Amino acid sequence: MTYVAGKVWLVGAGPSDPGLFTLKGKAVLEQADVVVYDKLVGQGVLAMIPEKTERIFVGKVSGNHPVPQQEINQILLREAQKGKQVVRLKGGDPFVFGRGGEELELLSQNGIAFEIVPGITSAVAVPAYNGIPVTHRDFVSSLHIITGHTKKSDEAEIDYEALVKLDGTYIFLMGVASIPKICAGLLGAGIEPDMPAAILERGTTAHQRRIVSDVSHLPAEAEKAAVKTPAIIVVGKVCALAEEFHWAEDRPLGGLKIAVTRPRDRSSELAQKLALLGAELVLLPAIETKEIENNDALEEAFHHMNEYDWAVFTSPVGVEIFFNKLRAMKKDIRSLASLQFAAIGSATKKSIEEKGILVNLMPHEYSGKALGELLTQTVLQEEQERSRKVRLLIPRAKIGTEDVLKPLAAAGIGYEDLPIYDTIESSDCENRMEQDIDYVAFTSASTVKGFVKQTGLTDFKHIKAVCIGKKTAEEAENYGMQIIVAKEATIDSMLECFKQLAH
């Protein structure tokens, strides 16, 4: 008897949009030791795999041939027998033309424990993202999901006569190469020649395409449009409803694929808002932040907090680290009672306010210079009123810009520039910079630098950079990117900028 602690989860990743991945799937993914995935799994879902997790890509090997099914089965068995928690991640639903059953056979024979996490199948979700309800009471009473490509050969062995009699909605998966054959089969079996039919390419992504026609004309239209896989074919009266019900591309940022760089350990306000407005996101973990350990200077500052009059923050992550340390030292915000608070911009302000502290000062423009100048002005006035020196504590990144400090130093204001975290470029970017990204969003000059390092590109002329402010734009311009600068240096102003670019 061998003891086997390994287990396999067969998980459906949905059709591509990461928002369509299930909560259970995500939870399972986060505890996996190894993830075995293929090419239909969306980038957004892949980005949810933790950095430490081993990945095995079985979509393609050299020469574009997929890894044979038997070999995939063996990989799953082998990994589980090593005692690993294995997630087999598949596009759509694992049991809808996903060979999920085949993969379970070997596991079951070998007594490997498994679970299934269903996914949203492209057969239903892709029509939905194109405004096609696959059933509609006024038109059809059945829905059929058919493979355009059978197991033994490329010839589809479909009983068209039987299908046409059912008078339903027909969804063909894996049918791009057989569009003429499928349409001819249906026509031969007596379907009305003007029966609406559609091809839906890359559904649920920013660049999804829809070609709506009828069964007689679909093959020519598909050829003209050079349709590529993945795409589904929908035949039935419901296809005509797309004209009225299309919606995905009409969202404020529908059709835009935007790369966003952000620190890995916190979510990005910008990314969340872009996604809600309908953009497809590529999250580039360009910068990682790391708390400086054994930070004596910070501890020292906490012991003498009443010697400072202001705490100045230049990033939300700085706020988090500062307050975590406070707690770790068994103190709370009462020990900060002597301080006024300054924030560089709205995200930092929000983080401070979440700690139960109102922010006293924030510049109009998001920049170190503006913060430094506004502080200088305010502090000089305070010093006059109080007839004493005022002292600032500036907990921030180790390699921060000098812009904040310059005006303070020039005015002779006393401050302590206190490094509490380091920014490190992340090593895991796995070339997420695919060809079809429309824009890259930059919220600081350092995100530009990180991006340049990460992508390994040498030519940035084709990159369209949407920048939060002048400083960021200057940096992007240095690398020859095409720049677009938000009117005001705020996230909301960046969103406005994208809305204009989308339409």
Residues engaged in binding ligand SAH (CB under 6 A): 15-16, 40, 90-93, 96-98, 121-123, 126, 173-174, 200, 202-204, 229-232
Q: Shortest gap between Cβ of 258 and ligand SAH (angstroms)?
A: 19
* Greatest Cα pair distance in the chain: 96
Judged by beta carbon, residue 97 or residue 308, the one nearer ligand SAH is 97
Of 171 and 258, nearer to ligand SAH (C-beta) is 171
Catalytic residue among 38, 93, 214, 417: 38
Q: What is the DSSP letter of 18?
A: G
- Residues in Cβ contact with 138 at an 8 Å cutoff, skipping those fewer than 6 apart: none
Q: How far apart, in whole angstroms, are the C-alpha atoms of residue 239 and residue 220?
A: 17
Alpha carbon distance 40, 442 (integer Å): 28
| CB nearer ligand SAH, residue 15 or residue 469 | 15
CB of 17 to ligand SAH, least distance (A): 8
The minimum distance between CB 183 and ligand SAH, in angstroms, equals 16
Closest separation between CB of residue 59 and ligand SAH, Å? 12
End-to-end CA distance of the chain: 65
| Residues sharing a CB contact under 8 Å with residue 164, sequence separation 6 or more, in sequence order | 186, 189, 190, 191
Nearer residue to ligand SAH within complex by CB, 200 or 339: 200
DSSP type of residue 134: S
Cβ closest to ligand SAH, residue 163 vs residue 173: 173
Beta strands 310-313 and 85-90: pairing type?
unpaired
Nearest distance from residue 229's CB to ligand SAH, in Å?
A: 5
Q: How far apart are CA 177 and CA 147, in angstroms?
A: 12
Catalytic residue status for 174: yes
Catalytic residue among 17, 174, 195, 417: 174
- Report H helices in 189-295: 218-224, 242-245, 269-276
Name the strand (E) or helix (H) holding 43.
Answer: helix 43-46
Q: Three-class SS string for 234-254?
A: EECHHHHHHHHHCCHHHCCCC
Catalytic member of 60, 228, 389, 398? 60
Could you tell me the smallest distance in angstroms from the CB atom of residue 171 to ligand SAH? 9
Residues recognised as catalytic: 38, 60, 174
